[in-house]
Amino acid sequence: MSDLEPFRIETRAWLEENCPAEMRKPMRSEDDACWGGRNAKFSCEAQKVWMDRMGAKGWTAPEWPSEYGGGGLSHEQAKILKEEMSAIKARSPLMSFGIWMLGPALLKYGTEEQKKHYLPQITRGEIRWCQGYSEPGAGSDLASLQTRCDDKGDHFEITGQKVWTSYADRADWIFCLVRTDREASKHLGISFILFDMESEGVSTKPITLISGRSPFCETFFDQVKVPKENLVGTLNKGWDIAKYLLTHERAMIGDAGDGGVGGRSIGQIAVDSLGSDAQGKLADSALRADLARAEIDGWSFMLTMERMKDEAKAGQGIGARSSMLKYYGTELNKRRYELLMASKGHAALEWEGEASRDGELPRMWLRTKANSIEGGTSEVQLNIISKRILGLPAS
Amino acid sequence: MALVLNEEEQMLRDAAKGFLSEKAPVGALRKLRDDDDPLGWSRDLWSQMADMGWAGILVPEEYGGIDYGMVGAGLIAQEMGRNLTASPFISTALMAVTALREGSVEQKEKWLPGIAEGKTIIAMAVDEGVKHDPAKTALSAVAHGNGYRLNGEKSYIIDGFDADALIVAARTSGEAGDEAGISLFIVEKDAVGMSSSRTKLLDARNYAHSEFTDVDVAGDALIGTLDDGFALLERVLNVGRVGLAAEMLGASEQSFDMTMDYIKERKQFGTRVGAFQGLQHRAAHLYSEIELVKSAVLKALQMFADAPEMSGAGAALAKAKAGEVAILAANEAVQMHGGIGMTDEYDIGFYMKRVRAAQELLGDYAFQANRLAVLRGF
């Protein structure tokens, strides 16, 4: 018995006792995802119970130190927790930009007070965060952002506009990149700051996407007063934090999609939909070849994610290779959804009605088109690989 | 198991890198080709590799080997791919040894020590048609006296020319296309009725075509079980497939490195061509693809010991992905080199030719993709 076996047994027993039955069923739609926050909407009581219990144990952020509300688990223990959760098909207790993005930045750049104040609220799902990065004139060229943040003596004052702010209309607080020095070169005058979305002067406007959904907003700041202690890291050094976070975001977007939907391979989904010949092979042989290619690339990519994690654990940082994961993972996800659409034929086009759950598949398919744009376009990732990994000359 | 090399494996890889780049670089293959070497590989070099334990890398210690396993074998194959080293490593040290490990004690005693010493070469004779398809084995073996009588032909036998023996996939019952009814026999070089000739392929390596006319072998030439040899044959082929995948990974890495070096230096329109985004994005894409191959190959190598029940799927994955990317890498290498990439004087063409052969051998992309789809239930 390995040293970790007692932990596994304990974890299994705890999950068995504490994970409500409803939270062991696959999510039916985006509404089943739990985001927490001051104005949290729970689709059922079990969702709240599950978030609260996991939050109290710090297992919403298993590897964060326990003094900041995390689980204090080692990487190996966190892996076991993940395995045991997936064994009972437990849903994620909390979706959170606070856990995925702000937390890692605060752990690295935050003051002790900031960590003690913000991190436990994040792990317990009390505060829902959004990210204020892109602006109308600063997309791929993020560092040219113009939202101004002026020093008014005892406070900062922020005026400007952000765009593509995920769920800004539902978030409680924002972590934001702002320009604090307009004279410096573009990378050197940026700061990273936190503030309450209920502050006077903040307004949001959802953007309706081609999927018909509105996960993103335009966000406006009109002379928003922000306390000085809300600055994270050094004034004018926010770009370092932004780069650090983008690395996290890229690895996360690349990680999306597990090769299938609900644990079935896309090839099997196609067989369910289109039927097979006497040997069990998909009847449409041209589609079958495309599916096999996607399976090969999907499996190889999944192994690459695994290898990068193992290498990181063995001390070799991922570094700019996160751009490779982001590029390949998002392009692959787009291919997968193209194949899912083909596999479901005309039924994949249904936009409304119970059978299609109001067009869940086509809306997801459309959503994947943003994968290779958000968090740095595929072309930006290829530029980063060329420059930072391959050392190709600048043009 | 973690998808990283341990210290011992890294040492083995570094040793292989050092030895092969010094003793068996592309120039050595070029010389074998230009000299029209009858064997297509160097016995002296193979003997040195045997001294380092490579010929016996899968041979049990009691038969003179080091029994190191497939991960180490793959690292050597990868370095051979970087240097395009010609040797009977995959045919004999990997495939034939895998077959013989399932043989009788007498067969092991007779053959394995010689292989480990680098003196004995044994090749797998499987294919008969223009595409790899082991179930289609038609060469017949029928009971005759105390043994079997073989009739038929085998082609594109990897390192089969001048080999000391062939391990022949033969049909002992059923019909071509059936997986059941295939048996493996070891047939020695001087067997009466067997004639072999060398087939020259574009990669200048050793391949044989062998004809069997009433070739009689004794009963103890059978390896494994009569009529039930397909599972063993598949295991042998999977070892070969992953060996070739590792070789193609090394070839992809090397041709990619050569290409990056070239486009960083070559100037046109007053600038280094590597500064053009048109080339940069293709290079970055190819880099990403090679990263995927590394993961697939390492996992497939680990599976032989860690998850043998998955090794068929792993081999299909690795061979398919490595073959696809090796072809892409070779094509991009020639294109990005421009005119000089088309010249025989420049080495890049050797990579293009070798990976074209390697991706076809033991099943090309479509073959492996089909296998994987069947295993995945579609």
Examine the fold and report which residue of A123, A140, A158 is the final residue of a domain before the chain moves on. Answer: A123
For residue A134, give the DSSP letter: -
Examine the fold and report which residue of A123, A156, A178 is the final residue of a domain before the chain moves on. Answer: A123
- Are residues A380 and A282 part of one domain? yes
- Are residues A308 and A227 part of one domain? no
Of B271, B272, B295, Cβ closest to residue A300: B295
- Are residues B337 and B222 part of one domain? no
Mean pLDDT split into 10-residue runs, chain B, 378 residues: 93 97 96 96 98 98 97 98 98 98 98 98 97 98 97 98 98 97 98 97 98 98 97 98 98 98 96 97 98 98 95 97 98 97 96 98 98 93
- Are residues B61 and B18 part of one domain? yes
Question: Over pLDDT 70: what percentage of chain B?
Answer: 100
- Are residues A381 and A262 part of one domain? yes
Domain hosting residue B361, numbered range: 231-375
Task: With beta carbons less than 8 A apart as the criterion, state whether B217 and B147 touch.
Answer: yes
Examine the fold and report which residue of B102, B119, B136 is the final residue of a domain before the chain moves on. Answer: B119
Contacts A395 to B, Cβ<8 Å: 271, 275-277
Looking at residue B348, which CATH number applies to its domain? 1.20.140.10
State the Cα–Cα distance between residues A360 and A352, nearest whole angstrom.
9
Looking at residue B196, which CATH number applies to its domain? 2.40.110.10
Examine the fold and report which residue of A56, A88, A123 is the final residue of a domain before the chain moves on. Answer: A123
Looking at residue A145, which CATH number applies to its domain? 2.40.110.10
Examine the fold and report which residue of B99, B119, B139 is the final residue of a domain before the chain moves on. Answer: B119
A324 inside 8 A of chain B by CB: yes
Chain A stretch 372-391, residues whose beta carbon is closer than 8 A to a beta carbon of chain B: 379, 381-383, 385-386, 389-391
Domain hosting residue A190, numbered range: 129-238
Task: Report the pLDDT averaged over residues A45-65.
Answer: 96
Examine the fold and report which residue of B204, B228, B252 is the final residue of a domain before the chain moves on. Answer: B228
- B1 within some domain: no
Structure token digits, residue A330: 């998002």
Indicate yes or no: CB of A291 within 8 angstroms of CB of B280.
no
Query: How many distinct structural domains can be found in chain A?
Result: 3
- Are residues A34 and A137 part of one domain? no
pTM of the model: 0.89
Chain B stretch 303-362, residues whose beta carbon is closer than 8 A to a beta carbon of chain A: 317, 320-321, 324
Write the pLDDT tens digit of every residue in B175-226: 999 999 999 999 999 999 999 999 999 999 999 999 999 999 999 999 999 9
- Are residues A171 and A139 part of one domain? yes
- Are residues A97 and A136 part of one domain? no
Nearest-neighbour CA in chain B from A6: distance (Å): 21
- Are residues A119 and A170 part of one domain? no
State the Cα–Cα distance between residues A340 and A334, nearest whole angstrom.
10
Query: How many distinct structural domains can be found in chain B?
Result: 3
- Are residues B286 and B158 part of one domain? no
B370 inside 8 A of chain A by CB: yes
- Are residues A375 and A274 part of one domain? yes
**Interface residue of B10, B71, B277, B288 to substitute, partner A, most A CBs within 10 Å:** B288
Collapsed DSSP state (helix, strand, coil) of residue B51? helix
- Are residues A189 and A105 part of one domain? no
State the Cα–Cα distance between residues A318 and A249, nearest whole angstrom.
13
Looking at residue A50, which CATH number applies to its domain? 1.10.540
- Are residues A301 and A230 part of one domain? no
Indicate yes or no: CB of A385 within 8 angstroms of CB of B4.
no
Identify the pLDDT of residue B106: 97
Select from B136, B151, B159, B156 the least CA-distant residue to B194: B151
ipTM of the complex: 0.95
- Are residues B140 and B60 part of one domain? no
Identify the pLDDT of residue A260: 40
Looking at residue A324, which CATH number applies to its domain? 1.20.140.10
- B2 within some domain: no
Strand partners, B222: B185
Q: State the alpha helices, DSSP H only, in chain B.
A: 7-23, 26-34, 43-51, 70-83, 97-100, 105-116, 230-265, 277-306, 311-337, 348-360, 365-375
Looking at residue B18, which CATH number applies to its domain? 1.10.540.10
**Interface residue of A307, A326, A388 to substitute, partner B, most B CBs within 10 Å:** A307
Write the pLDDT tens digit of every residue in A326-371: 999 999 999 999 999 999 999 999 999 999 989 999 999 999 999 9
